[in-house]
Structure 1
Amino acid sequence: MQVDFTIIIDLIGTFAFAISGIRLASHKQIDWFGAYIIGLVTAIGGGTFRDLLLGVTPFWILDAKYFITTGVALLATLVFKEKLFKMGNTLFLFDTIGLGLFTIVGITKSLDAGLPIWVCIVMGTITGSVGGVVRDVLLNEVPLIFRKDIYALASIAGGGVYFFGNFINLPVGILELLASLTVIIFRIVAVKFHIHLPQLKPLESNSGKKK
């Protein structure tokens, strides 16, 4: 039961992240194949980096469903392009859903590897955020994780909820759902109410000031 639920959220997360990548690529005059590649690296980038750190074969090498799911996402974008592109918050919505779902996938896979709690939270954050970093770098955008918006911290919050729920023995399905919703809601609330960390600003130079 646990494995089935993890596979479901993995595929939904793949679809959501692929949509976010394809949606952003549409602003860069990229052809369909290029958009597919951007969607694919958005979907598999974080998990690939996680698996390399864990010393295991990257998941997409062993299963073609991530390539197929990305293809479905591209097809859905082409068919519903008018509706999706008119929604100004489409990129944010799908990116947030992908972040929440992939954070939980990263945590559960790290738990299966027998890693300690803090490492699992780090791996969950990497799984949820690195794909978006790769997407933004390829499209010459400042990665979301480096902007003032709450992003990686949302994954950390979801990881905290996951392990608290695990400590009080919540059923796995409910636990994973609550943790992923925590990430999603945390990020939505932060953006809606403009909650963010202070920006690091350079010191003002006195060289241009009159004495």
Structure 2
Amino acid sequence: MNEFIYFDYLGTFAFAVTGASVGGKSKLDLFGMLFLAFLTAVGGGTVRDLIIDEPVFWTQNTTYLYIIIFSTLSIFFMRKFYERQSSLLLFLDTLGLGFFVVIGTQKTLLLGFNNETSLLMGVITAVLGGILRSAFSGELSILYQKELYATVAAISSLVFILMSDVDLEPIYPAITVIVTTFILRYGAIKLGLKLPTMKE
């Protein structure tokens, strides 16, 4: 797991930036932005660790908290720059999605859980923070948006699980998952792909 610690740090930075950015757009103060950054960056991983009965990761390593604080301050003092870079925020959000799918899925697999549980924990790690952010900020939840998001996380987690059954260095499935996440998400946005909804 240690070889992926920087993946986790980068994912935390990426999601904290997107969370703080939503707080800035919602006209929250610095504390409110920090709170949304925290929820987005560690909310999914916190719930994952509680479910699989592991110590909550950020309580064991305060580096995550400093990354969140740094990310929030960067948004607070460079808000106009980030607002002009919507493509950058999309890139960071997708990057965080891919990294957290890898972290959540791999951690659960290494603890001996079955593939189904590992896939679900990968999705929760990657997606739940954004759902919590939406709930507290009033933005439209990713669950209501027609853009593929949780589906991308689920497919990417499945790719990691399938590749983990092959005798490869762990870094190769991880890189493949991150590339898959970018291809699926950007492809779905460009082509307007979406899951069907129930008719009234």
**TM-score calculated relative to the size of structure 1:** 0.89
Check whether the contact 1:14–1:66 (CA below 8 A) recurs between aligned residues. Answer: yes
User: In the alignment, which residue of structure 2 is the partner of 1:49?
Assistant: 47
Check whether the contact 2:24–2:79 (CA below 8 A) recurs between aligned residues. Answer: no
For residues 13 and 74 of structure 2, what CA distance do their matches in structure 1 show?
Answer: 10
CA deviation profile, 1:163-187 (whole Å, cap 9, x unmatched): 2222232221111111122122211
Task: Give the partner amino acid of 1:72.
Answer: F
**TM-score calculated relative to the size of structure 2:** 0.94
Per mean C-alpha deviation after superposition, the further-off stretch among 135-144 and 83-92 is 83-92
Check whether the contact 1:20–1:91 (CA below 8 A) recurs between aligned residues. Answer: yes
User: In the alignment, which residue of structure 2 is the partner of 1:83?
Assistant: 81
Check whether the contact 1:24–1:91 (CA below 8 A) recurs between aligned residues. Answer: no
Instruction: Using the TM superposition, give the Cα deviation of residue 193 of structure 1 relative to its aligned residue in structure 2, in angstroms.
Output: 1.2
1:35 equivalent in alignment to 2:20:
no
Task: Give the partner amino acid of 1:194.
Answer: G
CA deviation profile, 1:180-199 (whole Å, cap 9, x unmatched): 22122211111111111112
Task: Give the partner amino acid of 1:82.
Answer: K
User: In the alignment, which residue of structure 1 is the partner of 2:179?
Assistant: 181
Check whether the contact 1:22–1:35 (CA below 8 A) recurs between aligned residues. Answer: yes
Counterpart pick for 1:108 among 92, 106, 109: 106
Task: Give unpaired runs (5+ residues) of structure 2.
Answer: none
Per mean C-alpha deviation after superposition, the further-off stretch among 148-157 and 129-138 is 148-157
Task: Give the partner amino acid of 2:71.
Answer: A
CA deviation profile, 1:85-125 (whole Å, cap 9, x unmatched): 11233433222111111011001110121001111111000
Counterpart pick for 1:131 among 113, 117, 129: 129
Q: How many residues align?
A: 200
Check whether the contact 1:161–1:179 (CA below 8 A) recurs between aligned residues. Answer: yes
For residues 8 and 141 of structure 2, what CA distance do their matches in structure 1 show?
Answer: 22
Structure of higher CA gyration radius: 1
Task: Give the partner amino acid of 2:99.
Answer: L
- SS of 1:146's equivalent in the other structure is coil
Aligned-pair identity in percent equals 28
Per mean C-alpha deviation after superposition, the further-off stretch among 89-98 and 12-21 is 89-98
Task: Give the partner amino acid of 2:173.
Answer: L
CA-atom RMSD in angstroms:
1.5
